[in-house]
Structure 1
Amino acid sequence: MKSDFRFSNLLGTVYRQGNVIFSDDGTKVLSPVGNRVSVFDLINNKSFTFDYEHRKNVSRIDLNKQGNLLISVDDDGRAILANFKARTVLHHFNFKGKVHDLKFSPDGKLFAVGCDRFVQIWKTPSVGEDRQFAPFVRYRIHAGHFADVISITWSKDSRFIISTSKDLTAKIWSVDKAEKSLAAVTFSGHKDYVIRAFFSADQEKIYTVSKDGALFQWEYTKKNQDAADDDDDDDEEEENEEEIDMSKYSWRITKKNYFYTNPNKVKCATFHQDSNLLVIGFSNGEFRLYELPHFTLIQQLSMGQNAIQTVSINSTGEWLAFGSKKIGQLLVYEWQSESYILKQQGHFDIMNSLTYSPDGSRIVTASDDGKIKVWDVVSGFCLCTFAEHQSAVTQLQFAKKGQVLFSSSLDGTVKAWDLIRYRNFRTFTASERIQFTCLAVDSSGEVVCAGSQDSFDIHIWNVQTGQLLDTLSGHEGPVSCLAFSAETNILASASWDKTIRIWSVFGRSQTVEPLEVYSDVLSLTIRPDGKEVAVSTLNGQISIFDVENGKQIGNIDCRRDIISGRHLEDRFTAKNSSRGKYFTCINYSFDGTAIVAGGNNNSICLYDILNEVLLKRFTVSSNMLINGTMEFLNSSKMTEAGTSIDLVDRDGENSDFEDRIDSTLPGSNRGGDLSTRKVKPEVRVTSVQFSPSATAFAAASTEGLLIYSVDESIIFDPFDLDFEVTPAAVNEALNEKEYLSSLVMSFRLNETRLINKVYESIPAKDISLLTANIPTVYISRLLQFIGDFAMDSQHIEFNLLWIKWILATHGKYIMSHKYELTAALRSVQKFVARIAKEVVSISKNNTYSYLFLTTTDGTDERMVQSEELVQDVQDSDMELDTEDKKEMEEEINGEEEDNDGGEWLGFNEKKSTLVLEEKDDDDDDDEELLD
């Protein structure tokens, strides 16, 4: 098994704070997520998160016009310069102050920073002639505001900057010192903070927007007294003057407009110069679109009841991006068609459980907020949200085929969800009202088991009928963990009575011998073949038991491998702390050779079972705003009483009244609203699981859903290479029609382009002979290549022939090495499933098209023939089956219904229309669905 896992993506959280921006082509959205930055590709339906981390949450980000440099700044003013295309960190820098805004100039040569009450202009790092030792070189600094600078706006020609401040003014600055006299103006007159200021497209007008809802239009005109004097003078003398006296001109307010939104305040604003479109976001979740300079209201909509923190508009002026901090919501809106391109929101609270779908394409998460969310691994978007549970959801489990999901909750129910129609179709309850904390589903999907801390019994239900079949008694304490074997029908359970029991659910006798454990069991996992069980205990050990012999065959001491940080309220060091020195969740890999573990600490550990050693350790987060991420505290922030200054509540010192309001409940850690906390959140991992493809694993943590995967983007990764294997030798063998030799050599070079060339050059008639003679060591690589290549290939039958003959000639080898070939088989399975789905869809569409074309025409002769055809159909009693009628009705209704679960809306670039994600409209019965 490969162990070179790396952080690849962050799901479950789409926005935390700061500003959201578009890329220059307008197809990507960049959003700050905690101390990281996520990128959402709206056209290709993909997303990724940069692997670098800030010390605190990101407050401002900006991308240059060329699209290759990204600067992100955290709350302390520490900046990271990254190459956006290569996703690598170039430089770290500290601005030594609170950065309120950051903007690149339109020409990309400079960038401006609003730090405290100063406007700093810096040179953009480049490979030009003036190479400097320091990547960041300050060009100019402007000081004139008496309070913090809120925003910065560049002119279109990159010559001037407008800054707005909390001192109720806006100022215009020149970039070059020679033009200082042209731009040394203060715009005053507002009665509240000036939120933003903008240049018009011709740079002859300036618009300023204040927090109290006032919009002022400024123009460079003559002063009133000078204008009156000029009327008395001769006009001919003024025309003869070669130079205009600039002293008679000044920036003056020519128009005042108001939004009239009291008591709501303006929170953010943006302006698109080419289309004169002004977008305003308010504190009540409302946003408006105006056309300037006429101040015409175009649209007025609301994205909720919470304040809009940021708004951005793409380069074409078609898409708007909004971010709401309180509920962590990110929204992309196309204002011309009045439809949402993207509408995503994470969980309100920390995730309790996660599970992969059997094909590895989706992850389902559950949280204390009672919601279940289905996430797409590639796009990173939430496809559906289930909110039927009335309390915290504790565990999730998929049935074998992946069409049914089971969930347990503290509301005393276990629910079954249909992931084809996205609905709840079964609810299981016990004879008494108890809270279920663990869940297990057998491999056939016919039986579901659940355990509770209120009862010592294990409850078993029949999924087909929903009836309670049996209760397994034997444990002398609350049942904490349950797990079914993937291949055998054995059920493993763990309890607080320090025992593990192995049950044969479908057997005649339910008497089992307990396996003694020397500490409380926190988590349990069973190997996919059902021969071994591993448990994590409170004393920091992972114990491995042989199921058949009932003996312990291995033990891993994890206490030294765990990184446990120090909390702010601790009076002792992290070294002397016993907090978090154990793992609360573990999971077997699909080949059964490794275990991944996580707990209430800052570590995710990957262990080799055979040698009982640590393979790799991952740090969950480096965010200093989360308790437990720092091993040592800063002594300069310690008071004489030995407590940290960060524990002091400074909300009453905020300058804004709405920020000073404390809506939390006394003594509550969560507060009156779910986003406010009086104490810092603690770093912890609540659930870990390997992907069925064996190339990734996911961890539900305080920061979100972390995805770690094996980097397969290496260009040159040869396999069994020698001096005779070269691209020239491959081409020579291919020209001589030595297909087997050329294919083997291309796999040994492991160049995708070369493998593709050889693969498509092999005639279809020779596939059966070639697959029979290919060495078995190349079967895994061939299956993986076909699975990845076939997804974008147009040669459907050609690829299916390859898969058919590989399975026919090497089926025994594949069955005996299925754990090694898991990733390759999953990719092939995904391709075959997509082909089957498309064939069924095309067949249905062609059937209806044929009926339409054969029954409708403009001529009278065709009308007569269609009437005769209809009469013949009625006479022969040819009617559609009820199942077909239901399918047609669901297809028609499915186009009109809107999914309530925050489903991804993708943009079709060819048709310039919005299309919903295609759903499988197969309407089988629930019983057929569970088979």
Structure 2
Amino acid sequence: MKSDFKFSNLLGTVYRQGNIVFSPDGTCLLSPVGNRVSVFDLIHNKSFTFNYEHRKNISAIALNPQGSLLMSIDEDGRAILVNFKARTVLHHFNFKNKVRSIEFSPDGTHFAVAAGRFVEVWKTPDLAEDRQFAPFVRYRVYAGHYNDVTAVTWSNDSRFILSASKDMTARIFSLHSEDKSVKMSLAGHRDYVVKAFFDSTQEVIYTVSKDGAIFRWEYTERPGEEELPEEEKTMSWRIISKNFFFSDASLKCCTFHSKSNLLIVGFGNGEFRLYEMPSFTLIQQLSMGSNGVSTITVNPSGEWIAFGSQSMGQLLVYEWQSESYILRQQGHFDSMNALAYSPDGSRIVTASEDGKIKIWDIVSGFCLATFDEHQSSVTGVAFAKRGQVMFSSSLDGTVRAWDLIRFRNFRTFTSTSRIQFSSVAVDPSGEIVAAGSLDNFDIQIWSVQTSQLLDQLSGHEGPISYLSFGSEANAKLASASWDKTVRVWDIFGRSQASEPFDLTSECLALSMRPDSKEFAVSTMDGKISFFDIESGRMIREIDGRKDILQGRYKEDEFASANSKRGKHFTTIAYSFDGLTLIAGGNNNSICMYDLPNEVLLKRFKISLNMQLNGTLEYLNSKNIVDGNAVDLVDRSGELSDAEENHKADLRLPGSHRGDAGLRSTRPEVRVMSVGFSPTANAFAAASTEGLLVYSVDDSLLFDPIDLDMDVTPENTLQCLNEGEYLNAIAMAFRLNEQYLIHKVYEGVNKDDIPLVAKDLPAIYVPRILEFIGSIAMESQHVEFNLLWIENLITAHGKFITKNKHLFVKGLRSIQRFLSRVVKDVIGYGYKVNYLVEFLLVSSKTENMVLEANHEIEDVIIEDIEVDAAGNHEDEEAEEESGDEDEEDNDEGWFGPGDEQKKYTDNFSNSDSDSESEEVIQDDD
């Protein structure tokens, strides 16, 4: 089995904090999820998460107008510059101050940063300029505010900058020195200014404050100077109108779309409003829930509005004109306790401490459905073999069965007494469901068909920690308990007696090998023991204490190497072939073991987020003051905004429940559940940071054009003329010019299509199929397109099957083209049915006429030879009377050519076989 697994996506959380950004084309939405950035493609319905991590949660992100550079900044002011298209990290930088806002100029040459109480303008790194040692060059620093700057906004011509601050003022700054006279402070608000905007003409400025006031400013002369000459007038920005939102909650965020004069504001009670400016007309007033709106953004066209809620971890994309939701996603409110892959590997089900069950699509990364029927924490989930039925156990004392076709709860199983279920397992046939509890030491067995409690398996002397069923051929149930034993039960046998497998410590996790001949159990002492079920002997034992990465907590006065906390595994899972095992626990690592050799194959680090306990490794004395960690000191009295005093957010995924008044409580990094995909190319881990998916990287496909930088349209056409079709196609797709792709595609020789399709790099297969589907409906080359489609699918069928999500659009267009071709051919067949019959009859008639022609020609040639021998003496006389001879020839004697022409004309003008026979008889 392959071991080169890499992080591929983050599910289970869609938004944490900071601002959200639309891509320049308005089709993708970028959202910070903790210390990572996720991108949601709203057109193709899929998402991905960048591989890089910050050391703390991200507070601000920005994307340049060209859509090529992404800048993300964490709470400490450390920035990472990323190539958005290639998804590679370009540079790390530290602004050495807390950054609340960052925005690129509309021309993309500069970006402005709100760092503390200063506004810093930096040049955007550009490859066209002279390369320098430092990619970040600071252009200018603007001062003047007396408190932190909350937001920065550029004018449409990239000449001016508007800054909003907590000192209740907004300021105008100029980028160029020749415009420095416009510098001015806009004061008058009674609370700090949330944001300020230019309108499309740049002659009006809107400033919005937290108390719900919006001021409209215009550049006019001083009152009373209307009659003075222009050169004597004093021009300045003045308040023209004041409007108020009059909401019960404070204003949290706002944005303005200058092209459509649309103002969107969000409040702390979850309400958002749309206004048309400058008339301040209320267009819509809706609510996204009871929790506050943390951020708002609008796409360039002004059609879609995106909202983010930090307290609920919710993300919405709203189309205001049709009043419909484009995207509505929400992560778990609390930590995830368990996960399970569907049998086909296309979905993951997660169970949470908040009592909800969510179904996540692997390809798109979106939540498909949410079940909230459980009244308490959900502790376990399991799939039946057919994959359309799922079972869950909860602390509310119920085990529920879910229909994943109709998305409903159709069975509820309870015990004779009120007990809290901690684990669940399903028989492969789907007929029996078992559950264990931490309160009662018995295992409950129910019938899925009748919902009746069939039996209670007694034998354990401690709480049941885990249950696992074997395969359908050997349907045995294994149970692990805190009484340091594992028991294997034969549910369908006559005798239900079980022989215990004794261990040296309490059992925490259990996993049955897919063939049901072996099971693995994790114990409190950090060991994983493997037993053969038939012989009852221990096969191997792995000591994982040295493999675990357990970081130090903030309050620890020792390094992580000396910590004994979390040195065991609380969840383990076998791979599909039974040769690999992954294990995780209350620590910062996932360990992958090779079982035949009993060695550690790879270790995955869960998170680098230093805001979580358990990620730091070394002790730094500067962070310890009077025996307490500096990060645990409460500074809430020093902050001006009480709403920002969330030093410890207990609602982060993975956080422990505890006293909300305990100021030193911090979420800790841990892994609650792991599982291998049935397709063997991925595994998932439910962790503090969300649902992490690691997969074998199939995206690194070889592209021969990567070796050559000289890719131009001239070289592409030259390769096409020289018969280098493969290079020409690859270069055309690299240039991404539609006319060039079309010309190269139709320039390929028909006989060379099978060879070109076979050698085409897999990275270009989705694009060429999508291209064929886009032109096939209007193209006249039906057979040519069919040859391409046939050879591409034949040569790359396996790749297409493994990556169906890449070919959805192209194959759909091709299917539509093939349906049209089939429909047209059948339609033409019905229309020309009688014409075909007529042509068949005509062809028989023509054959008979040709045979008669040949017979007549032979007779005429014989007569001509006889006449030529008898009349040879009269040639001279015939030449003298040529005119008379010509008349005689027309009436009696004919030459060979004329005779043949006459009879041919007669037969060609005949309408039936009977008429042809009459002509032949008369001439004879």
Which TM-score tier does this pair reach, normalised by the shorter chain?
0.7 to 0.9
Give the 3-state SS of the residue equivalent to 2:454 in structure 1: strand
Partner residue of 2:743? Answer: none
- CA contact 1:351–1:701 (8 Å) conserved in 2: yes
Change (3 A) 1:727 1:440: farther
1:69 is aligned to 2:54: no
1:366 is aligned to 2:351: yes
Aligned match for 2:624, one of 622, 638, 647 = 638
The equivalences for 1:513-552 within 5 A come to 513-552=499-538
Q: TM-score, normalised by structure 1?
A: 0.77
The equivalences for 1:565-714 within 5 A come to 565-640=551-626, 642-659=627-644, 670=657, 679-714=665-700
1:24 is aligned to 2:9: no
Instruction: After superposition, give the CA deviation of every residue in 1:290-324 in whole Å (9 maximum; x if it has no partner).
Output: 11111111111111122111110110111111111
1:467 is aligned to 2:452: yes
Residues in 2 aligned to 1:424 and 1:293: alpha-carbon distance in whole angstroms: 51
Q: CA deviation at 1:427?
A: 0.7
Q: Give, as a single letter, the amino acid of the residue that structure 1 aligns with 2:256.
A: F
Q: CA deviation at 1:176?
A: 0.6
Instruction: After superposition, give the CA deviation of every residue in 1:636-669 in whole Å (9 maximum; x if it has no partner).
Output: 12113x221111122232202444699999xx97
Q: Percent identity?
A: 61
Give the 3-state SS of the residue equivalent to 1:348 in structure 2: coil
1:453 is aligned to 2:428: no
- CA contact 1:477–1:495 (8 Å) conserved in 2: yes
Deviates more, 1:455-464 or 1:378-387: 378-387
Partner residue of 1:923? Answer: none
1:298 is aligned to 2:297: no
1:154 is aligned to 2:154: yes
Residues in 1 aligned to 2:593 and 2:656: alpha-carbon distance in whole angstroms: 35
Q: CA deviation at 1:129?
A: 2.6
Give the 3-state SS of the residue equivalent to 1:245 in structure 2: helix
Partner residue of 1:168? Answer: 168
- CA contact 1:747–1:781 (8 Å) conserved in 2: no
- CA contact 1:690–1:696 (8 Å) conserved in 2: yes
Partner residue of 2:333? Answer: 348
1:424 is aligned to 2:442: no
Q: CA deviation at 1:498?
A: 1.4
Give the 3-state SS of the residue equivalent to 2:679 in structure 1: coil
Give the 3-state SS of the residue equivalent to 1:307 in structure 2: coil
Partner residue of 1:225? Answer: 224
- CA contact 1:29–1:42 (8 Å) conserved in 2: yes
Q: CA deviation at 1:13?
A: 0.7
Partner residue of 1:188? Answer: 187
Partner residue of 1:140? Answer: 140
1:177 is aligned to 2:187: no
The equivalences for 1:86-165 within 5 A come to 86-165=86-165
Change (3 A) 1:119 1:485: same
Residues in 2 aligned to 1:7 and 1:351: alpha-carbon distance in whole angstroms: 19
Change (3 A) 1:743 1:677: farther
Partner residue of 1:811? Answer: none
Aligned length: 760
Residues in 2 aligned to 1:153 and 1:249: alpha-carbon distance in whole angstroms: 23
Residues in 2 aligned to 1:85 and 1:292: alpha-carbon distance in whole angstroms: 36
Q: CA deviation at 1:585?
A: 0.4
- CA contact 1:556–1:612 (8 Å) conserved in 2: yes
Partner residue of 1:808? Answer: none
Partner residue of 1:392? Answer: 377
The equivalences for 1:824-903 within 5 A come to none
Q: CA deviation at 1:245?
A: 2.5
CA RMSD of aligned residues (A): 3.3
Give the 3-state SS of the residue equivalent to 1:293 in structure 2: coil
Residues in 2 aligned to 1:737 and 1:250: alpha-carbon distance in whole angstroms: 72
Instruction: After superposition, give the CA deviation of every residue in 1:839-892 in whole Å (9 maximum; x if it has no partner).
Output: xxxxxxxxxxxxxxxxxxxxxxxxxxxxxxxxxxxxxxxxxxxxxxxxxxxxxx
Q: CA deviation at 1:416?
A: 0.5
Q: CA deviation at 1:96?
A: 0.3
- CA contact 1:153–1:198 (8 Å) conserved in 2: yes
Residues in 1 aligned to 2:470 and 2:566: alpha-carbon distance in whole angstroms: 29
Q: Give, as a single letter, the amino acid of the residue that structure 2 aligns with 1:214.
A: A
Residues in 2 aligned to 1:755 and 1:267: alpha-carbon distance in whole angstroms: 47
Change (3 A) 1:304 1:673: farther
Residues in 2 aligned to 1:21 and 1:745: alpha-carbon distance in whole angstroms: 41
Partner residue of 1:214? Answer: 213
Q: CA deviation at 1:153?
A: 0.6
- CA contact 1:198–1:207 (8 Å) conserved in 2: yes
Change (3 A) 1:112 1:511: same
Partner residue of 1:39? Answer: 39
Q: Give, as a single letter, the amino acid of the residue that structure 1 aligns with 2:679.
A: S
Q: CA deviation at 1:512?
A: 2.1
Instruction: After superposition, give the CA deviation of every residue in 1:877-924 in whole Å (9 maximum; x if it has no partner).
Output: xxxxxxxxxxxxxxxxxxxxxxxxxxxxxxxxxxxxxxxxxxxxxxxx
Partner residue of 1:908? Answer: none
Change (3 A) 1:750 1:342: closer
Change (3 A) 1:259 1:528: same
Residues in 1 aligned to 2:322 and 2:260: alpha-carbon distance in whole angstroms: 16
Residues in 1 aligned to 2:431 and 2:10: alpha-carbon distance in whole angstroms: 34
Q: CA deviation at 1:267?
A: 0.9
- CA contact 1:22–1:313 (8 Å) conserved in 2: yes
Residues in 1 aligned to 2:416 and 2:10: alpha-carbon distance in whole angstroms: 41
Q: CA deviation at 1:633?
A: 3.4
Give the 3-state SS of the residue equivalent to 1:694 in structure 2: coil
Q: Give, as a single letter, the amino acid of the residue that structure 2 aligns with 1:191.
A: R
Q: TM-score, normalised by structure 2?
A: 0.77
Change (3 A) 1:78 1:570: same
1:793 is aligned to 2:811: yes
Aligned match for 1:380, one of 347, 365, 370 = 365
Give the 3-state SS of the residue equivalent to 2:622 in structure 1: helix
- CA contact 1:690–1:697 (8 Å) conserved in 2: yes
Q: Give, as a single letter, the amino acid of the residue that structure 1 aligns with 2:401.
A: A
Q: CA deviation at 1:387?
A: 1.1
Q: Give, as a single letter, the amino acid of the residue that structure 2 aligns with 1:508.
A: R
- CA contact 1:15–1:31 (8 Å) conserved in 2: yes
- CA contact 2:363–2:805 (8 Å) conserved in 1: no
Q: CA deviation at 1:88?
A: 0.6
Instruction: After superposition, give the CA deviation of every residue in 1:78-120 in whole Å (9 maximum; x if it has no partner).
Output: 0000011111100000000010110000000000001000000
Change (3 A) 1:201 1:736: closer
Residues in 1 aligned to 2:61 and 2:20: alpha-carbon distance in whole angstroms: 8
Q: Give, as a single letter, the amino acid of the residue that structure 2 aligns with 1:211.
A: K
Give the 3-state SS of the residue equivalent to 2:562 in structure 1: coil
- CA contact 2:384–2:390 (8 Å) conserved in 1: yes
The equivalences for 1:403-422 within 5 A come to 403-422=388-407
Change (3 A) 1:763 1:58: closer
Partner residue of 1:442? Answer: 427
Partner residue of 2:234? Answer: 248
Instruction: After superposition, give the CA deviation of every residue in 1:537-567 in whole Å (9 maximum; x if it has no partner).
Output: 1111111111221111112221111111001
Deviates more, 1:649-658 or 1:518-527: 649-658
Q: Flag the structure with more relative contact order, 1 or 2, with Cα contacts below 8 A and sequence separation at least 6.
A: 1
